[in-house]
Every structure is written in structure tokens, then in C-alpha cells.
Amino acid sequence: MKALLLAALTAALALVGMTGPASAASGAGYSHTCVVRSGSLWCWGGNASGQLGDGTTTSRTTPARIGDVSTWAAVDAGTSYTCATRTDGTLWCWGANSRGQLGDGTTARKTSPTQVGTGTTWAGVSTGDAHTCATRTDGTLWCWGFNRLGQLGTDPSTVYTATAPRQVGTGTTWASVSTGFGHTCATRTNGTLWCWGDNGDGQLGLGSRLASTAPAQVGTGTTWASVTAGYAFNCATRTDGSLWCWGDNGYGQLGTGTTYQTAPVQVGTATSWTRADAGFNTVCASRTDGSLWCWGNNLTGQLGDGTTVNRSTPTRVGTATTWTSDLVTGYHTCAVRTDASLWCWGNNANGQLGDGTTTNRGTPAQVTL
């Protein structure tokens, strides 16, 4: 939903996440986690809506392989649903579908992967609370699901809910997309950044709190590298390695104190950030030196610092220097190390940490796959 964008480690390990960026190798939904490992798909945690994709609604506290397909490429998880791409360019979704967020033309829940149309040119997908967006190899952008706040990039008075993909404008230069909760942000190949939908907390980054039902450019910068949409805020990296956040800041999730911002504000002065992931008022981000940093909401220990104290500035997760940019955060966080091992921590009420228990963890613990 995250939006849960991640560099897929298709030869090793990839995760799925909410509000995570498109083409996620890793990620974390509200109460579930999924990973792609050597082309196979594994999921665990809460499953009340069938979001694990195993054909049941039974929760699992340890990783379970989903089907026998070995051509999964990347995966992303929404609040209670999941979408993933395959190496043949097809797109599949499953789980909750009351707002048409699965894109299969219905509003019926699906407990196993269901193909979105017949297209074979899907490049990346991002799942939010109840809307989904995806890019295609021709540079076009498509969104579907709930549109009450214009998060699909079209006027909700004409399209309130879309049960199948709808193209956003006519542009063919979209590079990546990230879906939040009622808003969406995306980058273009020319390095520009665009956001649309709900703007009650300034999460569109336009310098105001006025909503936009069509993509609106964030400033005039042409050096944006990636963006991640959270609950009512966003963070984005630039090609110079700097990190910027804006929107709601009630938990310190902007990393700049506790005051909300209606335009991007730089997080510290570091220019070594490689990627960030925004979740439920929590952010985690990696640096070029292999270190991992988290900040914001820490109610369930999702910052990984061994406490449940909220942090308004980046706080380092341990001392390891082997973290990759394959990471996702929500009420729980998961990240991959350079040896392809997977580590998770934070909320575990539904077994989403994959350790066989439902006990929260305030520091990273390795997941056995």
C-alpha cells in the first residue's frame, strides 16, 4: 500500500507490502506479508479476506507457498488484499474487493490469485487501502478501485468506483507509482513528481491543502528518483541521494520534527539515501552504507529500536551494514539483507512476522523460508 517500489531479488528473495512502491520485491500489509523467492510466492499473517491467496481465509503464522507457479516477479500488499506481477507481464490480485480494487470487473472477494484482464505488459503495481495503480511497459499509468477522493486521477463525480483498470490521462512517460490512503503519487521518466487525490494534510505536496482529482506536479524539480505514499503523507528520494517528506506529521513520520508540511521538506542533510518506504505513520529507509533507519509511529515496535517510543527523526536499526533497499513498513516492518535473509519486526497479532507466534517484536528477527 502502501505502497508498499522495491528492487526485486528474483534470484533470491522479495517481499510484499502495503503502501509500498510498485514492483516491490518486499512489503507488509496491514496484517499480512508476502514474498517472492526464486519465482515462488509465499504469504503469511492475517487472512480474513483471503489476502494470502491460498484459497482459504485461515490465518498463518509461518510462510506458506501460494500455488506452484514459479514465475512471480514482484508483489505488493494493500490493507487486506494483494497484487503481484509475473515474468510474462501478467498482473494478478486477490483478497478484499468491495471497492473493485482487484480490477477483475467485480466486487467479489477472491481467495486465490485472479488475473487482471488479459494484458501482458504490466510493469509494476502498487496497492493502497482500497485502490490500486499500475504502470505498463509502454509508460502508461492505470488505476482502479475506490475513487471518492479522486485517487484514481479522475473526477469522482463521474467515476466513484472502478472495478477494472482505467488509464490516467494519456501520458506515456510514467516511471513508477505509489498508492496511499485516498491519494496517489507517481514519478515520470523526466524526473518530475506528481500527486493527486486527498490533500487534507498537505500530502499532495502542492503547498496547500486543496485536493486534486487529476495528477498535479509537485514543484518544478526534475531530479525525483522514487516516491512512497503513506497513510496521509509521502516521502521521496532525489537523484542526489537526499530524502524529502511531506504531509501529516502527528507521529514524527516526516523525520523533521512534529509539524505537518504541505510541500516537500528535506530529512536532515544526508545524501546517501537509497530508498524509503512509508506505511501507517511510519517510515523506514536504507542508505548506501547498508544501514537501515526508521522513524515515526512505534506503537508496536515497528521501528526496530527495541522500544515503543515514537521517533521524530531517523533512528538507526541496530548496527548492521548489510541491509538492502528491499524493505517495507506498516504496523510491522520487513527487510532483506545482502545474504538474501529476511527479517521482520513490530506488530505480530496475526502472525505477520512469520515466526510461528503472535508475539510482537521490537527488534529484527529472521524469518525462515
Where is 157: in which H helix or E strand?
none
CB 211 within 8 A of CB 204: yes
pLDDT at position 258 is 83
Helix/strand/coil (H/E/C) assignment for every residue in 227-261? EEECCCEEEEEECCCCEEEEECCCCCCCCCCCCCE
Between the CA of residue 192 and those of 189, 201, 217, 271, what are the distances in Å?
Answer: 7, 22, 7, 19
Q: Residues with Cβ < 8 Å from 209, sequence gap 6 or more?
A: 199, 200, 201, 202, 262
Nearest to 2 by CA among 235, 246, 315, 323: 235
Instruction: Look up the pTM and report it.
Output: 0.94
Confidence (pLDDT) at 14: 54
- Identify the structural domains of the chain with CATH numbers, from first to last: 14-367 (2.130.10.30)
One-character DSSP codes across 325-355: EEEEESSEEEEEETTS-EEEEE--TTSTT-S
| Amino acid (1-letter code) at residue 338 | T
Helix, strand, coil content of the chain in percent (nearest 5)? 0, 45, 55
| pLDDT tens for each residue of the chain, 369 residues long | 443 333 333 334 556 443 333 334 555 689 999 999 999 999 999 999 999 999 999 999 999 999 999 999 999 999 999 999 999 999 999 999 999 999 999 999 999 999 999 999 999 999 999 999 999 999 999 999 999 999 999 999 999 999 999 999 999 999 999 999 999 999 999 999 999 999 999 999 999 999 999 999 999 999 999 999 999 999 999 999 999 999 999 999 999 988 999 999 999 999 999 999 999 999 999 999 999 999 999 999 999 999 999 999 999 999 999 999 999 999 999 999 999 999 999 999 999 999 999 999 999 999 998
Distance from C-alpha of 158 to C-alpha of 232, rounded to nearest angstrom:
24
What three-state secondary structure class fits 64?
Answer: strand
Phi and psi torsions of 360, nearest 5°: -60, 150
Helix, strand, or coil (residue 359): coil
Q: Which amino acid is at 15?
A: L
Separation of alpha carbons 8 and 238, rounded Å: 20
